[in-house]
Structure 1
Amino acid sequence: MKPNTHPDYHEITVVMTDGTTFKTRSCYGKPGDTLRLDIDPSSHPAWTGQQRVVLDTGGQIAKFNKKFAGIGLRKKG
């Protein structure tokens, strides 16, 4: 194998969304860096099986429906 072709593999700390931490080895960052997760198996619906309700923030769904209400309707004549 050629020398210096692989990135540095070192130990980092991973912080889950619930605050728990664990150490692992990775090529991420520098030795001793911390990786904070936004989504992990304890909070993501793919693993938990619970879906969050989509809120109509600022009327975005109503705005979409109003904008595209006539699509798919044919005019006679």
Structure 2
Amino acid sequence: MKKDLHPEYKRTMASCACGNTLEVGSTRDEIKVEICSKCHPFFTGKQKLVDTAGRIDRFKKKYAGFDAAAAAKKK
């Protein structure tokens, strides 16, 4: 194996914008992230569910006869 080919892997601190810090392994000296498991909506339970039922219903209504119309044009 070649010497000095791989960077040094070391323990470093990853800090989040919310103030949370984690000790992780990395080749970098310092890691800064915008979001972590402490502040991410999925992990905190503050997740917003987007109601797209109205959009889907409008789409289905708009294109309901599309297949029948396309088949009629082919004949």
Scaled by the length of structure 1, the TM-score of the pair is: 0.45
Structure showing the higher helix proportion among its residues: 2
Higher relative CO (Cα under 8 Å, sequence separation at least 6) belongs to 1
Choose 1 or 2 for highest CA Rg.
2
TM-score by length of 2: 0.46
